């Protein structure tokens, strides 16, 4: 009899897994402690995530939600360019442009695809229950804590603010800005909107976002975003659980490998996880599937988690001022090769 997974968490990882499992005719149900879904600002989907969504037949529907971005680059806080990426070279390296999508719209699309009747809201997972449990319950995962009660977290030393402004910006300004112990970013979205973020090193309770010293269009974007719509998150560094499964429960996405946001791969690798796990469960017994999943996905994501931590530590310390002069000296082919290994269309296939 095929497995009937119970998914804990109706976020990106959980709904994508449910969608992929249904493609294999696995009976799946999803539960979430929230009374209603929604929230979040925007999400950058790199080609690795889009390729994984293509594998389950939903790549084009997700692309339709997002604005393609291939140009832009990195600027300093004074607005000067550190590096500009050639759009055609970037697309050749990665396989296609990345897409910036509204999180709420993406969640609504996935929820409709899975079927509202398969999703139970307002269900708090005190402990994992069910013959086969997929923990997709995020950074503070109950399922991950069940697998490894010794997991720990530490404050990463900076706070991030994010929002979506009802303003369009020049697509040529897409990308990130490296500042004094902080970072900012601008990404165009569909419908004349723009996703922005700002980070700042300092205490967990600092007030912000500190937008005035960032170059245009960031001050205008922050000002145009309603105060209640600005999301504020102190950043933490959490250890991976020592094991990702126990033969009955398995964790995916942030529950398995929460990472700092600097590489934009948290959501993307969660999508990869979901698709790979569903394929394995359809092909073999759960214990074998979980074992293969953990081995393959640890190999894929562990270097990304480490790189994201290094980027976060560097950008929010005095060492950050060294980034611009070093980055200028790196040839573009090397930059694109590094991006391709992490975020290109073929990157996830190497681990699947």
Helix, strand or coil, per DSSP, at residue 32: strand
Q: Grade residue 71 by pLDDT with cuts at 50, 70 and 90.
A: confident
What pLDDT score does 129 carry? 58
Residue 128 has pLDDT above 70, yes or no: no
Beta strands in 4-152 (DSSP E): 6-8, 29-32, 42-45, 67-69, 73-76, 81-84, 98-102, 119-121, 133-135
| Average pLDDT of the residues of the chain | 94
Q: Grade residue 247 by pLDDT with cuts at 50, 70 and 90.
A: confident
Average pLDDT over residues 122-129: 69
Domain boundaries, the chain: 5-350
What pLDDT score does 208 carry? 85
Average pLDDT over residues 20-43: 92
Residue 351 has pLDDT above 60, yes or no: no
pTM, two decimals, is: 0.96
Q: Strands across the sheet with 98-102, in order?
A: 42-45, 98-102, 67-69
Average pLDDT over residues 209-219: 92
Average pLDDT over residues 219-241: 96
CA distances from 81 to 44, 176, 178, 211, 227 (A): 22, 10, 10, 19, 30
Q: Grade residue 316 by pLDDT with cuts at 50, 70 and 90.
A: very high
32-36, 55-59, 102-106, 275-279: the lowest-pLDDT one: 32-36
Residue 350 has pLDDT above 60, yes or no: no
Residue 101 has pLDDT above 90, yes or no: yes
Average pLDDT over residues 202-209: 92
What pLDDT score does 189 carry? 97
What pLDDT digit, counting tens, does each position of 164-183 carry?
Answer: 999 999 999 999 999 999 99
Q: Grade residue 48 by pLDDT with cuts at 50, 70 and 90.
A: very high
- 200 - beta bridge partners? 159
What pLDDT score does 110 carry? 97
Residue 39 has pLDDT above 80, yes or no: no
Q: Grade residue 273 by pLDDT with cuts at 50, 70 and 90.
A: very high
CATH homologous superfamily for the domain 5-350: FAD/NAD(P)-binding domain (3.50.50.60)
What pLDDT score does 233 carry? 95
- For Cα atoms 235, 236, 237, give the angle at the middle one, nearest 5 degrees: 135
351: preceding bond cis by omega (within 30 degrees): no
d(CA 91, CA 161): 29
Cβ-contact 231, 163 below 8 angstroms: yes
Residue 352 has pLDDT above 70, yes or no: no
Average pLDDT over residues 176-192: 96
Residue 253 has pLDDT above 60, yes or no: yes
């Amino acid at each position: 009899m095929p497995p009937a997974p119970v998914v804990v968490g109706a976020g990106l990882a959980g709904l994508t897994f449910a969608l992929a499992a249904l493609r294999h005719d696995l009976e799946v149900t999803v539960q979430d402690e929230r009374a209603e879904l929604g929230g979040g600002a925007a999400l950058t989907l790199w080609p690795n995530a889009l390729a994984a969504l293509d594998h389950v037949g939903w790549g084009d529907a997700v692309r339709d939600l997002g604005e393609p971005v291939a140009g832009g680059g990195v600027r300093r806080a004074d607005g000067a360019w550190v590096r500009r990426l050639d759009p055609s070279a970037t697309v050749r390296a990665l396989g296609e442009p990345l897409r910036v999508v509204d999180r709420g719209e993406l969640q609504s699309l996935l929820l409709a695809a899975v079927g509202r009747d398969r999703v139970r809201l307002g269900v708090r997972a005190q402990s994992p229950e069910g013959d086969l449990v997929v923990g997709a319950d995020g950074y503070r995962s109950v399922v991950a804590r069940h697998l490894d009660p010794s997991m720990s977290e530490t404050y990463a030393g900076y706070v991030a603010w994010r929002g979506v402004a009802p303003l369009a910006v020049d697509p040529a300004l897409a990308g990130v800005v490296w500042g004094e112990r902080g970072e900012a970013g601008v990404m165009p979205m569909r419908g004349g909107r723009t996703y922005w973020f700002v980070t700042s090193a300092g205490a967990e309770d600092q007030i912000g976002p500190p937008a005035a010293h960032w170059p245009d269009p960031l001050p205008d974007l922050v000002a145009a975003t309603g105060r209640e719509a600005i999301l504020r998150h102190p950043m933490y560094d959490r250890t991976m659980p020592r094991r990702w499964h126990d033969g009955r429960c398995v964790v995916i996405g942030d529950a398995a490998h929460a990472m700092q946001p600097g590489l934009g791969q948290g959501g993307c690798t969660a999508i990869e996880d979901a698709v790979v796990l569903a394929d394995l469960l359809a092909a073999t017994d759960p214990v074998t599937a979980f074992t293969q999943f953990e081995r393959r996905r640890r190999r894929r994501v562990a270097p990304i988690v480490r790189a994201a931590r290094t980027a976060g530590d560097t950008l929010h310390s005095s060492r950050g001022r060294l980034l611009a002069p070093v980055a200028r000296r790196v040839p573009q082919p090397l930059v694109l090769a590094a991006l391709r290994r992490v975020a290109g269309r073929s990157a996830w296939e190497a681990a699947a």
